[in-house]
Structure 1
Amino acid sequence: MKYAYVYVLDTMADWELGLVIAELNSGQYFKNRGSRLPVKTVGASKRPITTKGGMTVVPDVTVDEITLKTAAILLLPGADRWNDPEHAPIVETAKQLLHAGGNVAAICGATAALANAGLLDKRKHTSNSLDYLTMFCPTYKGAAFYQDEQIVVDGNLITTSAAGSLLLAREVIALLDLFKKDTLEAWYRYFQTGDGRYFYTMMETMQEQEG
């Protein structure tokens, strides 16, 4: 069984991964109808954490339970507590996954955690800004690979800014090849614009799949 692992930590920006985890876990628009990609929350321990939005989350598993065999993707949210030493193991796990061909997606503050660990020194990436990384990541040496874009996909690594939650969802779904291309495009345009025409287009692409 493959899972989408979501790292949870105190002060995590709960809204940043809301769209992507809902679509992965529900599978409602998957091209393989009736399938889904179960989401498991991962913690430094089984201790409940409190999100920035005030929600309490009890991790399903701990970091040591993640394996390349079971990880479809590791999702890393923004948070104010990434510098706490207890989060070093998940950054090491991200490093191991990336080196072994596993998928990792990081948003906002999680990009700084990767930068501090040297994981962005030789990969194309983005973040909240280049100044953000150079200010908060004293060991960061990846400026030559920084791209001033809202989201960057470099093979099996996706990085994005705090404002990139919708784009993150789109690129994770594309990377894992879960939606038909026209379904994903209509899905993205609907959430980007709020135009109901895209919702109906998306529903039409689903009916075409069934036909």
Structure 2
Amino acid sequence: MRTVHVAVHDTLADWEIGFVTAHVNSPAWHRTPGRFQIRTVSASPDPVTTMGGLRVLPDLTLDELSADESAMLVLPGNDLWPTEAYQPYVAKAREFRAAGVPVAAICGATGGLALAGLLDDHAHTSNAKEFLVGLGYGGAELYRDEPAVNDRGLITGGAQAPVEFARAIFAELGIYEPAVLDSWYKLYGRQDPAGFYELMSA
């Protein structure tokens, strides 16, 4: 059983990781059912409140999390990213990347990584190029105007693209066979019902 760790904190944008958490935990259509699990990680053991008003009790704290015990760190969007309160999450992302463990960030979390220089040497995306450029970061030449980008295990996505963000994560983890992942995206990304029947036959 490999663990995907999802950072949780006040103002977490619930909708940006819904596809990720549901389908990593669900055995349906997985290449190896039960191979992955989701665990939540936060700066403190206290409950957090998401942007949608859900209260989440973290499974562990950041100082208890080691990169070699994780398959990936997922950083949802939030309103904390430009503040000191978000620095422990950025520091953990830096630790993961130094260890060669994938990190996936979406929406405001990409802003936090940009401010820390973690996007300066990787192709990446975000909500908009102007969003990151306005932060004064050094990676503008590597910005890609795409819903989600994976460059050497650093996955980034825009708030408007939770399905594409999830697809990039699934591909990195190898959760689905390529043809199954194509059908998954056909259903959830293109709203094509043919994807549902393909998944049922898979």
Matches of 1:80 and 1:42 in 2, distance apart?
A: 17
Matches of 2:12 and 2:44 in 1, distance apart?
A: 15
Of residues 144, 169, 173 in structure 2, which corresponds to 1:172?
169
Task: Indicate yes or no: 2:6 matched with 1:12.
Answer: no
1:87 Cα deviation after fit: 2.1
SS in 2 for 1:163: coil
1:187 Cα deviation after fit: 0.8
One-letter code aligned to 1:175: E
Which structure has the bigger radius of gyration?
1
Q: Counterpart in 1 of 2:104?
A: 105
1:116 Cα deviation after fit: 0.5
Task: Indicate yes or no: 2:57 matched with 1:52.
Answer: no
CA displacement 1:135-192 (0-9 Å, x = unmatched)? 2x24x11111111222111011000111111001111111111111111110110112
SS in 1 for 2:36: coil
Question: Do the aligned partners of residues 195 and 130 (structure 1) sit closer, same or farther apart at CA in structure 2, a change above 3 Å counting?
Answer: closer
1:193 Cα deviation after fit: 2.8
Q: Counterpart in 2 of 1:61?
A: 60
The farther-off stretch of 79-88 and 103-112 is: 79-88
1:130 Cα deviation after fit: 1.4
1:41 Cα deviation after fit: 0.7
Q: Counterpart in 1 of 2:150?
A: 153
Q: Which runs of 4+ in 1 moved over 6 A?
A: none
Aligned residues: 202
Query: What is the 5 A alignment of 1:15-164?
Result: 15-32=15-32, 34-135=33-134, 137-138=135-136, 140-164=137-161
Contact 1:2 1:69 in 2 (8 A): no
1:25 Cα deviation after fit: 1.1
Q: TM-score, normalised by structure 2?
A: 0.95
Matches of 1:133 and 1:18 in 2, distance apart?
A: 24
CA displacement 1:19-55 (0-9 Å, x = unmatched)? 01111112222111x3231111111101111111111
SS in 2 for 1:193: coil
Q: Which residues of structure 1 form unaligned runs of 5+?
A: 206-211
One-letter code aligned to 2:128: S
SS in 1 for 2:189: helix
Identical amino acids, percent of aligned pairs: 42
One-letter code aligned to 2:190: T
One-letter code aligned to 2:22: A
Of residues 165, 180, 200 in structure 2, which corresponds to 1:183?
180
1:89 Cα deviation after fit: 1.6
Contact 1:23 1:29 in 2 (8 A): no
SS in 1 for 2:89: helix
